[in-house]
Amino acid sequence: MDIYLKNIRVVNPVQNLDRQCNILIREGTIKYIGTDQIETDYETKVIDGTGLICAPGFFDMHVHYRDPGQNYKEDLNSGIEAAANGGFTGVLTMPNTVPPIDNTQVVEYIKSKTANKIVDVYISAGITRGLEGKSLTSMHSLANSGVLMFTDDGKSVLNSEVMRRAFDYAAQFDYLIAQHCEDHNLTEGFSANEGIFSTKLGLKGFPSVAEEIILSRDIMLAEYCGNRRYHAHHISTRGSVEIIREAKAKGLRVSCEVAPHHFALDESFIETYDANFKINPPIRTKQDIDAIINGLKDGTIDCIATDHAPHSSFEKDVEFEKAPCGVVGLETAIGVCLTYLYHSGHLTISQLIEKLSVNPRKILGLNPIIIREGEKANLTIFSPDDEWIVDKQYFKSKSQNTPFDGFKLKGKPKYVINNCQLYASNL
């Protein structure tokens, strides 16, 4: 099927591109981009791009697809559809499946289930076997099978000697090591950010220092082991932003991500005891939000990733303390980012595209997407100005544990084009 994007604004920071034009896509390849009007036949899908933006396909480098092992929460097909519905053409899955992604058999299973889909599914694997923080996985075999990053996400590698060995092993091949920064000794049994609201509500708190201790240690180890590549998952505190800023100023090869809920929501939302606001790391203070936004503006924070973490309603609809941490995020990310970052005057459209498309691929060593004739079409098309009310009933994810249900957002995904396929969002 031919696709004709008519009168659409095309923005790609990689090419320093921002202009109004027409694009003809044939058999998945961009055949024409320019200002001329193209004659089309009745079989061509014509999309009126007035008021829309075409960007290099958005990439979420932190999703949990629960497959294998917990398919009732999400499976690879539903996860892919949720990503497409939310405006993403690429994702990186986390390894905490059942069994975990710590061997090539699980990697091959995921690859076989996700080949030639509209969303490119890339894979991360555990730093340690069974994500137990003890013995290293066979990183070389896993990398040869296509793994792009090593992380025990959801669990920190608490043992400093094990983490040092991971950096030393990764040094041979320049593998990317990533970490969910949490000193579990300080957070066991937590339900919320440690502060005024956790005290008021009688909930066990997650102190900000528990994140910052592990982050600081890891950066010191990465530097000690020869300035190794290191990525911090979903940082959430002002202290973490400053630690990353200082590391980058020293020339260390450190990167980080932040999740939309950590710059859109503060700890006061837990007053309702709604478990859809129970997240790890927890939503923090307004001061933390201000620091995160400043980190996004000055480039300290490299990218935005959703930490899409599906849980079934019977798991979430329990007492706050007993509910699992995590929220779905793929289908609200663009709306939340545009509302709280672009329309609030913090980031430009080009800067937002860098955080959602360019930088995640750069961190993972993937080729940048180029929008020009002869290139494969890998595109996200969104409206920056459409206003809508989030209704989780329209989600394609199997789970609906969103904190944003009922929120009014400005800006939404419209289409994704990738691998010779077109998907129209129904949000």
pLDDT in tens, 150-208: 999 989 999 999 999 999 999 999 999 999 999 999 999 999 999 999 999 999 999 99
Give the model confidence (pLDDT) of 234-288 as tens digits. Answer: 999 999 999 999 999 999 999 999 999 999 999 999 999 999 999 999 999 999 9
Contact at 8 Å (CB) between 244 and 230?
Answer: no
Q: For residue 213, what are its two tokens?
A: 């201790």
CATH number of the domain at 3-54+373-424, please? 2.30.40.10
58-364: what CATH class? alpha beta
pLDDT score of 254: 98
Q: What is the pLDDT of residues 311-329, one digit of tens each?
A: 999 999 999 999 999 999 9
C-beta of residue 403 within 8 angstroms of C-beta of residue 269? yes
Asked, as a colleague might, if the bond just before 324 is cis with ω within 30 of 0, I would say: no
For 72-130, write each residue's pLDDT tens digit: 999 999 999 999 999 999 999 999 999 999 999 999 999 999 999 999 999 999 999 99
CB-count burial class (<10 Å; 0-12, 13-18, 19+) for 253:
middle
- Listed residue (403, 357, 252) closest to 17, CA to CA: 357
CA distance 126 to 102: 5
Which residues lie closer than 8 Å to 69 by C-beta, 6 or more apart?
97, 98, 99
The pair of structure tokens assigned to 237 is: 């505190």
Closest by Cα among 350, 254, 252 to 297: 350
pLDDT-based confidence at residue 18 (cuts at 50, 70, 90): very high
pTM above 0.85, yes or no: yes
Compute the average pLDDT of residues 372-384.
Answer: 98
Going from N- to C-terminal start, the domains of the chain cover 3-54+373-424, 58-364
**Which residue, 331, 312, 259, 409, is CA-closest to 83?**
331
The arithmetic mean of pLDDT across residues 36-60, rounded, is 95
> Does the annotation count 307 as an active-site position?
yes
Q: Which of the residues 307, 317, 385, 405 is marked catalytic?
A: 307
Q: How far apart are CA 22 and CA 380, in angstroms?
A: 15
What is the residue type of 22? Answer: N
Structure token pair of residue 324: 């699992």
CA distances from 417 to 321, 380, 421 (A): 41, 7, 6
**Separation between Cα atoms, residue 282 and residue 82, nearest integer Å:** 23
Q: At what angle do helices 208-224 and 238-249 cross, to 10 degrees?
A: 20
Per-residue pLDDT at 1: 84
